Amino acid sequence: MIQFDAVHKRFPNGTTAVHDLTLEMPEGGVTVLVGSSGCGKTTTLRMINRMVEPTSGTVRVAGRDVTRQDAAELRRSIGYVIQQAGLFPHRTVLDNIATVPLLLGQGRKRARARAAELLETVGLAPDAAKRYPHQLSGGQQQRVGVARALAADPPVLLMDEPFGAVDPVVRTQLQDELLRLQKELSKTIVFVTHDIDEAVRLGDQIAVFRTGGHLVQCAPPAELLARPADDFVADFLGAERGLKLLSLTSLAEIPQTPAETLRADEAVPPAGTGARWRLVTTAAGAPLGWLDADARHHDGPAGDAPLLPVRALRDTDSLLSALNESIASPGGLVARVTADGAVTGVTSRELIHDHAGAAHVAAGPAPAVTAPAVTGPAERAA
């Protein structure tokens, strides 16, 4: 656990970077520090490994005041990933990763063996080992940066806008991999970003900073989105914060009804003999598209008929993607599939809307506006 206790940081030029910060970053959790540039989030992060010294107050890692420890030794016990990776351009990827084990006095052979192992952990091919950083793409360099930070297996990982300089597609990949790694490793991670979507995806708790180094609010993502402390936080979260909240809720809890399906090799049934929108599937049950049974412009097998696209959802997909699909789907039905992609049923637009509302209620709206606004199914049942 990392504790900030009444921490102040004033730079010699007189600017206050961090103002009276008291904050706890729980063990094994991801704490994301967000805010616009110059709000003190990076300074906060850098006070943890003493890259910046607090002007007053104490920072403790695992109960020990960091300023009472040798700075170099402290830093070797804390993983540190920075924007643009900051790799050593004159060292191979393998030697970059082996940096901290070597500083800790492990033999070259052992350090390199550990580095090779980490190459795989962060999803890089073994042949990357002998290359130099400039021969890698930005995303690959970031992976090496993460591997280097993990090399000595530190309990704490500091990440300063690590994915800020890569394109959005790669960024999403790297975020996914970080979440996967975190599931295995359970590090105490402090993550700095100015991207609120990234914060919501990765954070177990999110600390929002305002210019001048003031911590405005620290809460789990759902609570933050449902109940921003003030207008500053609400503005920062953006106009779509309701939708962002839905991105945090999975579909697993939402019931489904049996789907009216047609196998691709079956004939299209006569009009009016069932539901208008039928889900056409492969023999294995994978969805192919929606068939308008009333249109009757086709008499052959269902698979040859003109189909409207379907994007089937798994239980792990978010309520936000379900809401999106319920708008895009012709009959307002969302197709549900197993992890293997076989159709299990459908969920109606209305039910998804009800649950979307309930998600807001569950996250806890501000007490003053609670009572009249609530119309979730949970309340109706009660």
CB of 95 or CB of 292, closer to other proteins = 95
Least separation in angstroms between residue 85's CB and other proteins is 8
Contact call for residue 281 and other proteins (CB under 8 A)? no
Residue by residue, what is the 3-state secondary structure of 142-190? HHHHHHHHHCCCCCEEEEECCCCCCCHHHHHHHHHHHHHHHHHHCCEEE
The span of 67-75, 204-212, 250-258, 287-295 binding other proteins (CB under 8 A) equals 67-75
The span of 97-105, 120-128, 300-308, 311-319 binding other proteins (CB under 8 A) equals 97-105
What would the two tokens of residue 251 be?
């579909």
Chain position carrying tokens 């002998």: 130
CA distances for 183 relative to 29, 178, 202, angstroms: 10, 9, 12
Contact call for residue 111 and other proteins (CB under 8 A)? no
Contact call for residue 103 and other proteins (CB under 8 A)? yes
Residue ranges of the alpha helices (H) in the chain?
41-48, 71-76, 93-97, 99-103, 108-121, 138-150, 168-185, 196-202, 221-226, 231-237, 241-246, 319-328, 349-363, 370-373, 377-381
Let me know: does 213 contact 43? Beta carbons within 8 Å. yes
Contact call for residue 69 and other proteins (CB under 8 A)? no
Instruction: Calculate the CA dihedral of residues 289, 295, 298, 301 and round it to 10 degrees.
Output: 40
Least separation in angstroms between residue 210's CB and other proteins is 26
CB of 132 or CB of 232, closer to other proteins = 132
Binding residue for other proteins, selected from 53, 73, 294, 379, defined by CB under 8 A: 73
Least separation in angstroms between residue 160's CB and other proteins is 9
Q: Which of 231, 203, 198 is nearest to 218 (CA)?
A: 203
Contact call for residue 163 and other proteins (CB under 8 A)? no
The span of 13-21, 34-42, 75-83, 288-296 binding other proteins (CB under 8 A) equals 75-83
The span of 71-79, 117-125, 168-176, 231-239 binding other proteins (CB under 8 A) equals 71-79
> Helix (H, G, I), strand (E, B), or coil: what is residue 103?
helix
How many residues in total does the chain contain? 382
Chain position carrying tokens 């990765």: 202
Binding residue for other proteins, selected from 57, 86, 269, 301, defined by CB under 8 A: 86
Least separation in angstroms between residue 81's CB and other proteins is 9
Least separation in angstroms between residue 165's CB and other proteins is 11
Contact call for residue 42 and other proteins (CB under 8 A)? no
User: How far is Cα 65 from Cα 67, in angstroms, rounded to an integer?
Assistant: 6
Contact call for residue 232 and other proteins (CB under 8 A)? no
Contact call for residue 329 and other proteins (CB under 8 A)? no
Q: Which of 367, 42, 352 is nearest to 223 (CA)?
A: 367
CB of 50 or CB of 201, closer to other proteins = 50
Contact call for residue 76 and other proteins (CB under 8 A)? yes
Binding residue for other proteins, selected from 18, 74, 159, 248, defined by CB under 8 A: 74
The number of CA neighbours under 13 Å toward the Cβ of 125 is: 5
Let me know: does 158 contact 30? Beta carbons within 8 Å. no
Binding site for other proteins (CB under 8 A): 49, 51, 72-77, 80, 82-90, 99-100, 103, 132, 134, 148
